[in-house]
Amino acid sequence: MKKSYLLLFYSIFAVFIHFSAVAQISEQGTPPSIEYSGSLSHHPVVTVPPPDIEHLKSEDGFYQKNAVAYRFAESIPVKIDFAKEGLWESLPDGRRICRLSIKSPGAQALILYYSRFKIPAGGNLFLYSADKKQIIGAFSSNTNSADKSFATEMIKGEEVILEYSEPFALSVKPQIVINEVGYVYRTADRFFNMRGFGTSDTCEVNVNCPEGEEWQYQKNGVVRIIVKSGFSSFWCSGSIVNNARNDCTPFLLTADHCGPHASEENYDQWVFYFRYEGDDCDDPESDSTFKSYTIVGAKKLAGNGGAAGKASDFKLLKLNENIPVTYNPFYNGWSIANEPSPSGTSIHHPDGDIKKISTYTDTLKSSNWGTIPNTHWRVIWAQTETNWGVTEGGSSGSPLFDNNGRIIGQLTGGEASCKYVYKPDYYGKFSYSWDGVPTADSTMLKPWLDPDDTGITEIDGIVSINEPIKRSSALYLYPNPAEEAIYIRDERITGNPVQVIITNLHGQEVLIEHFPERADNMINLNVNTLKKGIYIVYIIINDELRTAKLIR
């Protein structure tokens, strides 16, 4: 069924040359040791003993998908002061570097959690796998967390190398103290190989299969979450959501049973993955083809249900940072109407895998998870063109959309699986979460999503950003439509380097070009490699972003 959208473009695109200041974003680059590897000494290795994996797996066997998030990693407490324990060396170009390896035998991947993370201006930190096929960074002073605690995403294999570089004249040392090493013992073994992708079951449907064609906006609001609670890490899903002010506050809806006992410090170390999906209906070859679009840290604002998934089992978070425009965020709409939708979907990350889509074509039924009546929607998934998408562990907290493309619930659990496709799943009702437990602001959605008490009952999603675009001169792009090449003219091109990024309407980058400083105000760009269609052109000049639509 056709969906309605309200696409509010306050400013369609922002100055994202500064996006590294607002999130855990790799600023790219190459670790200096790769260039000077032949002249460097062996750096120290800190070995961390693994946890009791068999005991963890025996516990996991009881959890499954019954209002318990999907655990995939367990942390080992450590105290590693990187600047003190790493090896400092001088490079031929005058820079100084510090390197240190952290190793835990048998780990599929490692996650580092920090009690202190402060990089001085001018310093850069990289993390990479032992084979150097996975590199994240550079992290700089722009990445510093106001709360000091921090986390970095999974690095494949049993060893992660940290490498910090600084100019010769920099006297201030970084404060990088690792207090936990997250030992990934399942799900990552197939994220990083070349024999397939992910660990979700075979009936799942990738979000960019035909079933997802009408849900391309909604998918951009769905995120994969590494949930930190105590010493355990879990996979969950969630969605950023719009609010009555349409101001793009980074609210995120997930399930309350995702980290029900998480502390404030734990929330500051949650990792949110955006754009974690394949390009099309086929599985990608490996996780290494992806760029990282992550934000670290959030604050819990409201929730009910806790570990048992009672009441409507919702959790509302506010991300610690605004969401950069390059993440293609879509702030999903919602409805508080307690009316069963005749059809719709859920978009989720089963087993921590890439985005999948599940479709229902039978009218939802009002139900419950615990003893309180009418707190949940009961859904039966349908067989579709590609397969029979269901949900799994890791899908917890994922949004349930109605036939108008609005969120009406989030996943608590259920019995559906690829083996039992006719079994039901249960989603906590958005309508109940709105004001069903009116004891405090911390138990309802309404005070946060309608802070001015407008009485709104539904809202559509928005595409928007957090900074206004600077417009001080005219931009011309021609010919448009184009066949072989385009000309971009702007008075600010003269004397400045220019970066051009072209994306398709799904936000996927299809062409990136860098131009050095020019004497004139025009550049020429060949676009004959692009397929016929509509594209968005981003032109970055002197820390300012201009945009234009291009038809090829």
Instruction: List the catalytic residues.
Output: 257, 313, 396
- Quote the CA–CA distance of 461 and 7 in Å, as a whole number: 7
Diameter over CA atoms, the chain:
73
Handedness of CA 146, 178, 123, 466 (dihedral sign): negative
Residue 124 sits at the vertex; the CA angle it makes with 119 and 128, to the nearest 5 degrees, is 115
Count of beta carbons in the 10 Å neighbourhood of residue 62 = 8
Contact 127, 160 (CB under 8 A): yes
Count of beta carbons in the 10 Å neighbourhood of residue 70 = 25
Question: Which amino acid does the sequence have at 488?
Answer: I
DSSP class per residue in 186-200: SSHHHHTSSS---SS
- Quote the CA–CA distance of 208 and 72 in Å, as a whole number: 26
What is the Cα 145 distance to its own chain's centre?
18
Buried b (16+ CB within 10 A) or exposed e, 427-447: bbbbbbbbebbeeeeebbbbb
- Provide the 8-state DSSP code for 185: -
**H or E segment and range at residue 539:** strand 534-541
- β-strand partners of 350: none
- Provide the 8-state DSSP code for 206: B
Among the listed residues 242, 332, 248, the one whose alpha carbon sits nearest the alpha carbon of residue 11: 248
- Quote the CA–CA distance of 231 and 465 in Å, as a whole number: 35
Phi, psi for residue 24 in degrees, rounded to 5: -80, 85
Residues 6+ apart with CB under 8 A from 42: none
- Quote the CA–CA distance of 155 and 298 in Å, as a whole number: 22
| Alpha helix stretches (DSSP H) within 233-272 | 264-267
Residue with tokens 């035998």: 105
**H or E segment and range at residue 501:** strand 498-504
Long-range contacts of 359-368 (CB under 8 A, 24+ apart): 359/205, 359/211, 359/384, 359/389, 364/340, 365/340, 366/338, 366/340, 366/429, 367/424, 367/426
Token pair, residue 357, equals 């889509």
Contact 41, 312 (CB under 8 A): no
Count of beta carbons in the 10 Å neighbourhood of residue 323 = 27
Among the listed residues 415, 392, 446, 429, the one whose alpha carbon sits nearest the alpha carbon of residue 305: 429
